[in-house]
Amino acid sequence: MNIAQRRKKGPLYDCGRAPAVLGGVLCLLFVLSGCSAPDESPRADVATVNGEKIYLRDFKKKMERAVKLSGGSAVLEQAEITRLKEEVLNGLINEKVMLGRARELSLSVRDEELMQKIRQIKKDYSGGSFNEILAAEKIDYRAWREELRNSLLLEKLIDADVNNRVSVTEKEGKAYFHAHRKEYAAEKRVHVAQIIVRDGKKADDIRRRLKKGENFGKVAREVSIGPEASLGGDLGFFSRGVMPEVIDKTVFSLSAGEISRVVKSPFGYHIFKLLARDEGGRKSFPEVKEKILADIKKRKEEKAYTEWLAGLRTRAVVRRKDDLLKKISVPGAHGKSTSP
């Protein structure tokens, strides 16, 4: 995304702005990048929330990474830097306010809960790649772990104070369905099996075998080089636009049970069999009920979260040091400023 697109889309930096990203592992990795760097003013702060300090060093760490996520300081104008500072500081203030609310409710994250989440995260990384990422980004593991604990605590808080109070009735679902039928119309889909080989002549020979009545799935298991060969070449259902155009054009023109001609693509030589066709079209409410209720609940939760956070901010005593904030410079950015 270039900077022009970023201006249109809104926030330059949005880690932690909405409930959905509070537990984002990548967001945590981004935010903590460079956290081993020393700070020359360990007691300096840029704001206080109900008497609790937001330290300058923490602000600078998150600002540094926010600039990287926004494309680097070289592409940011001074006005964008100013806006980015506001977003970062507001994120830190929101976090302080919410953590204070979590203490009011006596919420906490036990060590076992934290370790369970860490084990889940590590499953997504093969071998030692998780530790390699931490090392490459110069991320202190203990600091990352505590940020993750805070993230889990905020998720728990939002569930308890916001999401658990949101409900959706079937009546609401039906009303929404009737007003938005087109949104829940299904696209046409095909259920296809394929055999793919690297040689065109071999593909022609295989197609002749199939035309003589050999079982498509059995032949696919024997000769296909595709990853789905063990499943008899079954590719499952897919709609238009998922496959290359030459494949789409072929499979969507087949009748159920029909075997295609040999189709060449950058991946090899394909033979397709149409197993079933779903013509799509409008769905009934029972068919899409669960999705509709989930969509409505998500919208309600987002609205409730925004109002809830605004209420917490109204009750909080926030004191900002805007003069200090203005002096914080971003190396390489357009415009002139002096670093405190």
Residues 6 or more apart whose CB falls under 8 angstroms from that of 186 comprise 278, 280, 281, 282, 283
CA–CA separation, 134 vs 119, rounded Å? 15
Q: What is the pLDDT of residue 64?
A: 86
Rounded to whole angstroms, the maximal C-alpha distance in the chain is 83
> Was domain 3-166+302-327 assigned CATH 1.10.10.10?
no
Q: Is 251 exposed, middle or buried (0-12, 13-18, 19+ CB in 10 A)?
A: buried
* Whether the Cβ atoms of residue 71 and residue 3 lie closer than 8 Å to each other: yes
pLDDT at residue number 240: 87
Tell me the CA distances in angstroms from 128 to 27, 28, 135, 248, 319, one per residue in order.
Answer: 20, 19, 11, 40, 44
Output the CA torsion 56→329→26→163 (10° steps): 60
Global pTM? 0.62
Rounded Cα–Cα distance for residues 150 and 100 (Å): 11
- Closest to 173 measured CA to CA, from 184, 165, 164: 184
pLDDT tens, 26-42?
444 444 443 333 344 66
Residue 194 vs residues 25, 31, 61, 105, 115: alpha-carbon distances, Å: 37, 45, 51, 57, 43
* CATH (one of 3.20.20.10, 3.10.50.40, 3.40.50.1360, 2.60.120.260) for 186-278: 3.10.50.40
Residue 10's identity, in one-letter code, is G
Nearest to 66 by CA among 23, 19, 17: 17
Residues 6+ apart with CB under 8 A from 292: 173, 176, 177, 184, 285
Please list the ranges in the chain whose pLDDT falls under 70.
1-42, 73, 126-127, 331-340
Write the Ramachandran bin of 312: left for phi over 0, alpha for psi from -120 to 50, otherwise beta.
Answer: alpha
Domain ranges of the chain: 3-166+302-327, 186-278
Burial classification of residue 309, based on how many CB atoms lie within 10 Å of its CB (0-12 exposed, 13-18 middle, 19 or more buried)? buried
All residues at 6 or more sequence positions from 249 whose CB lies less than 8 Å from its CB, including other chains: none
71-117: pLDDT as tens digits: 776 777 888 888 999 999 999 999 999 999 999 999 999 999 999 99
Residue 46 backbone dihedrals phi, psi, to 5 degrees: -105, -15
d(CA 21, CA 339): 31
What is the structure's pLDDT at 126? 64
Q: How many CB atoms lie within 10 A of CB 83?
A: 17
Note whether 57 and 328 are within 8 A (CB): no
The answer to whether 60 and 86 are in contact (CB under 8 A) is no
